[in-house]
Chain A
Amino acid sequence: MQLLSYTEDHHRFRARLRKFLAEEVTPHVDQWEKEHIIPRAVWQKMGRAGFICPALPKEYGGGGGDFLHAVIVIEEIARTNHSGLATPLHSDIVVPYLESYATEELKRKYLPGCACGDIITAVAMTEPNAGSDLASMQTTAEEDGGEIVLNGSKTFITNGINCDLVVVAAKDPRAAEAHQALSLYLVEAGTPGFSRGRRLEKMGYHSQDTAELFFNNCRIPKSNRLGAAGTGFYMLMEKLQQERLVVAVMAVAAAEGILEQAMRYCRETMGPKGPLNRSQALAFALVEMSTEVKIGRTFLDKLIVEHMAGSRIIVETSMAKYWTSEMAKRIADRALDLFSQAGALEKTPIVRTFRDVRVMSIFAGTNEIMKGIIAKMKIN
């Protein structure tokens, strides 16, 4: 039974996207991995072809589609065997903050650019000393006349080098209540006092420009605050359900890709006693991997349906984020074993996936934080 109701339009969208990625992305991936960045022109081509912000309403330049279009983009990007082209973070995590909380004026100003690939966004919450514990964040936002003055530093920011517009989380030091001090602000690249730090060297996600960001007396108009003052935590909580679901889609898509390649390798490669998949141990390993991937897929699809129906599924999406990211890691690890020494060569595509999936249990809230949330809501 197919849980997700893909329409003809979705299928056509997937086919067009797959063709686009095969022509415009896949041939360049190795080079981008070496250069540790994706050229902006790719975003522009992809946006103009209608693959960025596919779920954003048409009046803002988006595709007017639904979350399934977003799912398709994540899955198809996973097939290109790299993780640097972070349009899903932009389309499905950052832009929704603007769509839901920016003033109409700001939406008209930024959203069409976000959809056509001219504006690349980022979200900056994490700081060197505040990762899991966002409440301890030290970046400040103080009102001064009609302006807000930002001071502080952020780290591990996806699209940090390429971004044109950043959603920044910062605290008002004058607020009485800690939880009501946090607000989200829009900062344009080029604003005096805003600068980018190092592009960080990582285990994987090599084509992804993860970087530090600095705010030093960075002045922005007061109207660049999203929503009412002090509602930052509320907005984060509202949007984290989709963020976690997006990571789960990434994880399941990665695991499916790895499994497909491991199956093919074991069918096509001769071992001591015929093709490798004739080895009972390797066949059972593939069976176990397939079972895990299937369980992950089934759970995920159910959550996608519920999410699209507007249900609040914080507990389930937290479960999915932690379980599918661990699962993807297990599948990657096990698949390398099946490839034996070929699993140690970068020319074996799943080696990159092995390096890339490792981060999934860390970002978008670590898996320990997910378990803490579930414990709080479900157990305690």
Chain B
Amino acid sequence: MELTRSQKEIQKAAQEFAKGEFDKEVTVELEQSRSYPAELLQKAAELGFVGLQFAEEYGGGGLGLVDACLVAEALCRKDSTMGSAVVLAAFGAECLHRFGDKKMKEQYLEQVTAGKMLAGIALGESDRGDDFTVLDTTATRSDNEWIINGKKRYVTNGGAAGFYLVLCRTEAKHAENSGVALILVEPDRPGITVADLGDKLALNSVALADITFADVRVPLTNLVGKEGQGLAQARAFLDEVKILAAARAVGIAAGAFDRALAYVKQREQFERKLAQFQITRHKIADMATKIELARLITYRAAADFDKGKADPTLSAMAKMTAARMAVEVADEAIQLFGGYGYMTEQEVERYYRDAKTIELCLGTRESQKDRIADLVIGKLK
């Protein structure tokens, strides 16, 4: 796969931005104080790094998912945590962009792409991020309003987002989950309670919360897309953002690898550079190979998506493979650093934690396999 000239330029711009703006000490401070890097997001947005795949009329880049992946990879490579925070600013906006109406998009997407607003999407109701078999949140029609009741779990940017797309049941429970819709809820509506989930394994600068909706009223026009299509829309959204998550994982792995590579070329023990031990050399070879494999499948998934041939199987494969690979590569990077690898100062331990959270969100390995198997095996006679 060959990048176009404009893609190469975007990649380079993202690398330069990350090099100039990311500072590991600031990251550690933000992580400790659990504060979102608002200024950084603003700067990233000014350079067009937020919503690259959104239409230009909403402040987006009018580009594709490949471009968005290139930026995600470059940012996470330089700083896994800040890179992730910037990418996740728009988490949920992808769904609004695809299924929302013009008015909603004008009102919200422009602010998201300007780095002035965080997006929010509230889908799951269990520990498992892509399991919608538990779906008890209801939206009942009353005159010209929806009345929403229920509890959503693990909402990224929960408590900080400018809107939430909430997956609700609009009809009694059907086997096929057909009576489901996505409804946009403004965060200042009465009846919303946000419960922050506290300290996390990683990504503490990005909020994560459970949100309870108690008789929350929004206009009927807040319906996103079509009634009855909520589940399909949510799945399509996940299929898209899984590719972005895979790109983040590739960046995280590459960043951990960069650091480990530089270290083994410089550190000496037993009067030799670590890079002179055969075991170290083979580790480096394994890491490089894994990253390349994950990168290939990730960009293949993104390119197909941009060609209008989005393939849910490939999305799940890319997310599963890239996240696993990132955990393994970052883990090995820690090992190559020895005791230093366990220290905050050397960053790779944070890369490892960040990688693991990608594996845990948007459905674990088992969920991805369930999805891939469904699609590959199909219906049995």
Contacts and interface: CB of A to CB of B under 8 A. Distances in A.
B261 to A, nearest CB: 17
27 contacts: A131-B338, A136-B271, A202-B342, A203-B343, A271-B126, A271-B131, A285-B366, A336-B201, A336-B359, A337-B366, A339-B360, A340-B127, A341-B153, A341-B154, A343-B201, A344-B360, A344-B361, A345-B197, A347-B198, A347-B199, A355-B201, A358-B334, A362-B334, A362-B339, A368-B279, A368-B335, A371-B279
Nearest to B130: A340
A368 B279 CA distance: 8
Contacts of A203: 334, 342-344, 349-350, 352-353
Contacts of A282: 366
B365 interface: yes
B200 A344 contact: yes
Given A201-B344, A341-B154, A344-B200, A269 B327 contact: no
A237 B208 CA distance: 49
A261 interface: no
Given A203-B350, A333-B327, 15 more contacts: A131-B339, A155-B339, A200-B345, A202-B343, A203-B352, A203-B353, A204-B342, A285-B366, A333-B356, A336-B359, A341-B361, A345-B197, A345-B198, A359-B342, A368-B279
Nearest to A134: B269
A340 B353 contact: no
Contacts of B133: 272-273
A272 B364 CA distance: 14
A341 B128 contact: yes
Query: Shortest 7 CB-CB distances between A and B: which pairs?
Result: A203-B349, A346-B199, A201-B344, A133-B269, A272-B133, A340-B127, A342-B127
B63 to A, nearest CB: 31
B327 A340 contact: no
A317 interface: no
Interface in A288-326: none
Contact of B338 (A132, A269, A337, A339): A132
A195 interface: no
Contact of A340 (B349, B350, B360): B360
A272 B360 contact: no
Contacts of A279: 366
A130 B267 CA distance: 10
Interface in A117-149: 126, 129-133, 136
